[in-house]
Amino acid sequence: MSEFRIDQITNQSGSRGPDIAGITTFTGTSGMVMPSGSTEYRGGRDRGVIAGGYSGAPYTNSIEYITISTTGNAKDFGDLTLLRQFIGGGCSSSVRGIFEGGANPGTPNATDIIDYVTISATGNAFDFGDLIQERYFNGSCSSSTRGVTGGGNNGNGFGSITIGSIEFTTIASLGNAVSFGNLTSARQQVGSCSSPTRGLFASGANVDGVPGTRSNTIDYITIATQGDALDFGDLTIALPFGVGSLSSQTRGIFAGAYVSPTQSNVISYVTIASKGDAQDFGDLTGTRAEAAGVSNCIRGVLAGGYSAPARITTMDYITIASLGNATSFGTLTQGRSGAAACSDAHGGLGD
């Protein structure tokens, strides 16, 4: 076998050697395994992105990001295409994040807009397409290829008509959403998360359009198919809404919520592959509702939210595979609740 010497490779003029990008592993004293595949998928995936929300009038369009495996304060990423809050979660592949629906300052204030960003970069969002139904207070989850959003309301205020329909998009290609099915009941302020095969939608308010009603129900879908959601189990706390949510490939986390007349600090978990009621995980560092959740499958971060009487900047983190109370992570650039969030390494991606 001939010897391959990396230090003897140069460009045509001989002025410089190779630039090697990505993760490179050495298997011996003289052997090297070069990176393969698209550079977009090689290593470095550890970013959470938080977008929009309510920081006071008017709503915010700012996007910020964190490095999930570290602790520290969020940094500016760019802006959404318009001011909006209650976007109801985000969907993402390892490359692209999309933010579906939300409330804008107009009347009626639900929007059908879908924005997208490239997670590894920074910059303003671009138009992706439109939802079938204008909605906010929706929940969203995704696999590596498909984004799914469900629930919400039609944009005439908290007491407006709630939505039970589910829609999906193909994350890698721009375009409008397509009908998927229906939740087990119409409701708004839904928490959602996913494994590579299954998506969960939990809790909610104004169930089937009845003002003041609350739900602790968890629904599930098979992301790769289309059809109506089925009953999974119940959350640990009664009658919550506005839960924060995130997941690894195996475990779904639901944290904080509105539990009248205040907010909750309870964290609960489920094993996504098996149906059943949630179990207690631990507590957040303080009470909050409408927090934005992101994960890298090892660590989960709950960012911002509402803790009476204010929108907060606080971020907490947990280790998803173990039980215990949350620890302080850092702060957002501004207090916000009802923000969307996604990451390039969440539980739905399967790698």
Q: What is the layout of strands, in order, in the sheet containing 75-79?
A: 75-79, 62-67, 47-51, 340-343
Count CB atoms within 10 A of the CB of residue 38: 8
Cβ atoms of residues 184 and 151 within 8 Å: no
119 within domain boundaries: yes
Can you give the pTM of this predicted structure? Answer: 0.86
CATH number of the domain to which 230 belongs: 2.120.10.80
Give domain status of residue 24, yes or no.
no
Cα–Cα distance for residue pair 8/348, rounded to 1 Å = 43
Q: Which domain holds residue 49?
A: 44-343
Residue 328 covered by a domain: yes
Find tokens 């971020």 and name the residue.
Answer: 315
Comparing C-alpha atoms, which of 99, 227, 239, 122 is closest to residue 171?
99
pLDDT digits 0-9 by tens, 311-327 = 999 999 999 999 999 99
Taking only the tens place, the pLDDT of each residue in 100-131 is 999 888 766 889 999 999 999 999 999 999 99
Rounded CA gap, 211 and 160, in Å? Answer: 8
Peptide bond into 108 cis (omega under 30): yes
Domain annotation covers residue 36? no
Q: What is the pLDDT of residues 3-30, one digit of tens each?
A: 545 455 555 555 555 544 344 444 445 4
Residue 108 is predicted with a pLDDT of 65
Residue 39 in any domain: the answer is no
351 domain residue, yes or no: no
236 in Cβ contact with 278 (< 8 Å): yes
8 Å CB contact between 289 and 338: no
3-state SS class at 41:
helix
Binning pLDDT at 50, 70 and 90, where does residue 41 land?
A: very low
DSSP string, 247-296: E-SSEEEEEEEEETTEEEEEEEEEETTS----EEEEEEEEEEBS-EEEE-
- The verdict on residue 85 lying in a domain is yes
Q: How many domains does the chain have?
A: 1
pLDDT digits (tens, 9 = 90+) for 289-307: 999 999 999 999 999 999 9
**Is residue 156 in some structural domain?**
yes
